[in-house]
Structure 1
Amino acid sequence: MKNIHAKPLVDRISTIDWQEEELSFTHGASRAQLMREYLRRAAVWIHELEKGTSSPPFGTGYSNNWPFIDFAHAVDHSVTPDPELASRLDNFLAEYASAPLTGKICHYALNWYSLSDEAISRFPDLPDPFEPLIAIFERGGGFWIENGFIDFVAHRVRLTDWGQHLDRQPLASLSTEYLDSLDEDQ
């Protein structure tokens, strides 16, 4: 079955208050940790998808695609989101979150959640790469990349080669309670 996870994703993105700037300060520490978790997950996916290929689909370390990658098309090049969901997402983003990077990430996530369960089942031990990014948006909207850093106003994450993220420890939890505790510790 295809696209069963895509509608809940679009519903979720559509409920984000992209204008709530206070959240970007309040949740800066957790958002930076979520980005580190995304980078770790992305590195794990790249490592897995490049195993045994003579021409890696993502190129080397500083690929033009890094760090935000359309993993769905690497798993199944024929994946296509439901046109109505894609249109709904486009309309929402155009009105509330028009930054090009935000749109790119949300579309890659839509592609991901449009994959069939069969396509995903080939990688049972790999984590959902996009969940940390969606949580970042929910906890304070977008971010920007500047001078080799992913910037969250008061917190920054160095943008390095994907291989440097491969052996990082996973974030203990993506639960709201745990993420709130990270913010309280700051």
Structure 2
Amino acid sequence: MTAELPRTVLDRLRSVSWYGDWEVSTAHTRSRALLMREYMRRAALWAQACGARAEWPFFDVTEFVDPTLSLDPDVEAELEEFLTRTVPTPSTARTCRGAVRWAALVAKRDDPAGLPDPYEPLLLMYERGGGYSIEEFIDLYGVMIPYGNFESNLQAEPFLTLEPSTLDALDQDAEGRITYYAKVDDGYSRNSPLGIVRRRVVGREGLEYDEAFTRNLRWEPTQYLRRYELGENEVDHVEISEREAATFIESVTNRLAGTI
């Protein structure tokens, strides 16, 4: 069995600052929370498919998909040494082992079970500020998110836009309570809007900051919502989710890059 893919994942894990870079993790709280929620959703899909509900959420999927799977001996030895010396919690170690073994499974047979890669969201989350700890909530070192339950995670809205540029855009100046809106008009629907804007409400004083995602591929100040509230703007808007905003950001980025 080729060791190339598993070693690539192991190298990604080695690059993570496991004991926390507070500045990095707090700069990426929005994307890290979305990525963890997407991992929880995918883990629930796999747990349901494999009859492993009792093991959800932090488990090695490959133990159920292919119990006979084995790693290249050198990679396995390096992985276990890395986990022993570096990874801070047993829960995190299980997912790291699972991610490396998943890469070996993919190298062995493409598209196992037709479900999405369970570990890529978690790998991206690790790379954007370290691991997590489990208490009453899931602590991502900068933000805490609730577990939810198995069913709620199974039915959660997918978050499929995992490009670093999209994640960076979601994290840009993402302080406060954020609401996203899609600008809709003739020929521009919620799913294909004219543009998107966000309103951030910051601090106890409730200071409001309105920003549009522009062709510069960043959030920049806008008067659109103010003008709309004053009746000076005829272009309508609807509230959308953060995941829908991410889809628009990624489509704009790809279009301007000429990839679509």
2:119 — aligned with what? 130
Q: CA deviation at 1:120?
A: 4.5
* TM value normalised by structure 2: 0.60
**Would you say 1:178 and 2:162 are equivalent positions?**
no
Deviation at 1:99, TM superposition (A): 2.6
| Aligned AA (1:162) | F
* Structure 1 consecutive aligned stretches of length 4 or more whose deviation exceeds 6 Å: none
- Counterpart of 1:9 in structure 2 is 9
Structure in which a larger fraction of residues adopt strand: 2
Higher gyration radius (CA): 2
1:24 aligns with 2:25: yes
In 2, the alpha carbon distance for the partners of 1:117 and 1:79 equals 11
- Pair 1:39–1:3, CA change in 2 (3 A): same
Q: 16-25 or 161-170: which moved more?
A: 16-25
Are 2:47 and 2:56, in contact at CA under 8 Å, matched by a contact in 1? no
> Is there any run of 5+ residues in structure 1 with no aligned partner, and where?
50-56
**Corresponding residue pairs, total:** 173
Identical aligned residues as a percent: 35
TM-score (norm: length of structure 1): 0.82
What is the root-mean-square deviation of aligned Cα atoms in Å? 2.1
Matched residue, 1:163 = 151
Alignment check: 8 A CA contact 2:18 2:88 kept: no
1:83 is displaced (CA, Å) by 2.4
Counterparts of 2:112 and 2:123 in 1: how far apart (Å)? 23
List per-residue Cα deviations over 1:19-40 (Å, max 9, x = no partner): 4332121112211110100011
Match of 2:130 in 1: 141
Matches within 5 A, 1:13-162: 13-19=13-19, 20-49=21-50, 57-59=51-53, 63=54, 65-117=55-107, 119-124=109-114, 126-147=115-136, 149-162=137-150
